[in-house]
């Protein structure tokens, strides 16, 4: 999944699964309007469109070959990306409201963090991930709780590893609630 980092997108040859497909689609939509501010993002958006089109043609073009497992996988991926986008939107609005309350602009925050304005826009809009240092500085500067800045989602393989390991350990004090088990 890390290969969908904006810096690596142009090196991607194909999308490998439904989650990458949904994430690529979400990023491509964000880039559609971000191009108005930063034309250098156009090749990335165009390449994502190419990858998405190829994935759709390979996996979704023949309705007779679409399986229930594929539909379920796509539904899970859509839910994950939707939850992630909701988190990013809420974080963005929280940061913007705190900036306003402190009389700061997004460009001021970019200067504080040592980023150019366009890069800051990519961070705020969830096209790029914030670094740990960025998160800590925003947390301390704008008095925003860390759990409002750090995405609560982990990769499915990591979540599955935790679930299996906890079951094997069978320790009564180290149980997760049903809600806590929902890592993704």
- Kindly report, residue by residue over 99-121, the tens digit of the pLDDT: 999 999 999 999 999 999 999 99
Residue 159: its pLDDT value, please?
77
Residue 155: its pLDDT value, please?
73
Q: Same domain, yes or no, for 139 and 118?
A: yes
Residue 146: its pLDDT value, please?
96
Q: Same domain, yes or no, for 99 and 36?
A: yes
pTM comes to 0.82
Q: Same domain, yes or no, for 100 and 169?
A: no
Taking the C-alpha atoms of residue 117 and residue 173, their distance in angstroms, rounded to an integer, is: 47
Residue 158: its pLDDT value, please?
79
pLDDT of residue 169 exceeding 50 = yes
Residue 171 CB-density burial (10 A; 0-12 exposed, 13-18 middle, 19+ buried): exposed
Domain assignment of residue 109, given as a range:
2-61+69-148
Residue 173: its pLDDT value, please?
78
Residue 18 CB-density burial (10 A; 0-12 exposed, 13-18 middle, 19+ buried): buried
Task: Provide mean pLDDT across the span 132-144.
Answer: 97
Q: Same domain, yes or no, for 94 and 124?
A: yes
Q: Same domain, yes or no, for 116 and 164?
A: no
Q: Same domain, yes or no, for 92 and 163?
A: no
Q: Same domain, yes or no, for 135 and 158?
A: no
More confident site: 2 or 56: 56
Q: Same domain, yes or no, for 9 and 99?
A: yes
Q: Same domain, yes or no, for 46 and 108?
A: yes
pLDDT of residue 39 exceeding 80 = yes
Q: What's the mean pLDDT when you consider all of the chain?
A: 90
Residue 1: its pLDDT value, please?
43
Closest alpha carbon to 14 in 58, 44, 46: 58
Distinct helix (H) and strand (E) counts, the chain? 7, 0
Q: Same domain, yes or no, for 32 and 81?
A: yes
Q: Same domain, yes or no, for 163 and 134?
A: no
- pLDDT tens for 141-160 read 999 999 999 988 877 777 77
How many domains, the chain? 2
Residue 183: its pLDDT value, please?
52
Q: Same domain, yes or no, for 49 and 15?
A: yes
Task: Provide mean pLDDT across the span 65-73.
Answer: 92
Residue 180: its pLDDT value, please?
60
């Amino acid at each position: 999944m890390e290969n969908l980092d904006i810096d690596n997108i142009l090196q991607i040859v194909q999308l490998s699964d439904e989650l990458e497909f949904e994430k690529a689609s979400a990023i491509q939509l964000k880039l559609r309007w971000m191009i108005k501010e930063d034309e250098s993002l156009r090749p990335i958006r165009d390449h994502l469109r190419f990858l998405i089109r190829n994935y759709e043609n390979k996996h979704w073009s023949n309705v007779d070959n679409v399986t229930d497992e594929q539909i379920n996988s796509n539904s899970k991926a859509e839910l994950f990306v939707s939850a992630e986008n909701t988190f990013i939107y809420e974080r963005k609005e929280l940061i913007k409201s705190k900036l306003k309350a402190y009389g700061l602009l997004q460009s001021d925050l970019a200067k504080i963090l040592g980023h150019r304005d366009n890069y800051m826009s990519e961070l705020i809009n969830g096209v790029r991930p914030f670094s740990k240092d960025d998160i800590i500085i925003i947390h301390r500067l704008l008095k925003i709780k860390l759990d409002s800045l750090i995405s609560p989602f982990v990769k499915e393989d990591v979540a599955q590893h935790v679930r299996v390991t906890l079951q094997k350990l069978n320790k009564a004090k180290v149980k997760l609630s049903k809600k806590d088990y929902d890592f993704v």
